[in-house]
Chains A and B, each alone.
Chain A
Amino acid sequence: DTGVSQDPRHKITKRGQNVTFRCDPISEHNRLYWYRQTLGQGPEFLTYFQNEAQLEKSRLLSDRFSAERPKGSFSTLEIQRTEQGDSAMYLCASTSQRGVRGYTFGSGTRLTVV
């Protein structure tokens, strides 16, 4: 098990374009989270999956954002019609069902919208 993987590591896109990020969690973890982190700030919660079900979405997640976890394994986060304000580090984390455990984070995808 190599931990939580995120792809790509970096993405530069023009304003108005669509982007999609992928997260592969630890295989036995059924809970998956997306966070966004801007420079000098702590991670902000975006959305959460338990298996394939998206159970919670932050008000930060506008209609331009959509996330999926179709088979309860990997997840994708898509941003449509990107804006400069979307520039941030997008972090994925996973954890197991039982108890309260620390998250395992991926290294993140850094998005720059120009």
Chain B
Amino acid sequence: AQSVAQPEDQVNVAEGNPLTVKCTYSVSGNPYLFWYVQYPNRGLQFLLKYITGDNLVKGSYGFEAEFNKSQTSFHLKKPSALVSDSALYFCAVRDITETSYDKVIFGPGTSLSVIP
């Protein structure tokens, strides 16, 4: 079965420093991977996706993610964190089994706090 793990419940980083939010996945075939962000009392917003091609994917708000097949990871990164980046971040994987109809499975989330 497909699954997503986010090993850190909480990540704290100083404003201006680089940030990384970790994600590992498990799928039976080739993964489609996603990152979403959720601000308080809001729905999830799509940040970026990896389908195929370049392992480094660029997304919204200056975020990028690196796909590493050998380590089954898809870590989210940003070179310089902003206080406004503080939010809940979810990694997700597409379930590509025949009957899944591209249902996406979400990880448990990582709370990012950027400290001024």
A residues with CB within 8 A of B? 4, 6, 31, 33, 35, 40-45, 48, 50, 55-56, 91, 93, 95, 99-108
Once bound together, how far apart are the Cα atoms of A51 and B4, in whole Å? 28
Does A56 contact B32, Cβ atoms closer than 8 Å?
no
Does B104 contact A103, Cβ atoms closer than 8 Å?
yes
B residues with CB within 8 A of A? 4, 32, 34, 36, 41-46, 49, 51, 90, 92, 94, 99-109
Q: Of the candidates B43, B90, B99, which one forms a contact with A107 in the assembled complex, judged by CB atoms under 8 Å apart?
A: B43
Known contacts A40-B109, A42-B109, A100-B51; A105 and B45 CB within 8 A of each other = yes
Once bound together, how far apart are the Cα atoms of A108 and B38, in whole Å? 11
Q: How many inter-chain residue pairs (CB < 8 Å) link A and B?
A: 62
Once bound together, how far apart are the Cα atoms of A4 and B36, in whole Å? 16
23 A-B residue pairings within 8 Å (CB atoms): A33-B103, A35-B106, A40-B109, A41-B108, A41-B109, A42-B90, A42-B92, A42-B106, A42-B107, A43-B90, A45-B104, A45-B105, A55-B101, A56-B99, A56-B101, A56-B103, A91-B43, A100-B94, A101-B49, A102-B34, A104-B46, A106-B43, A108-B42
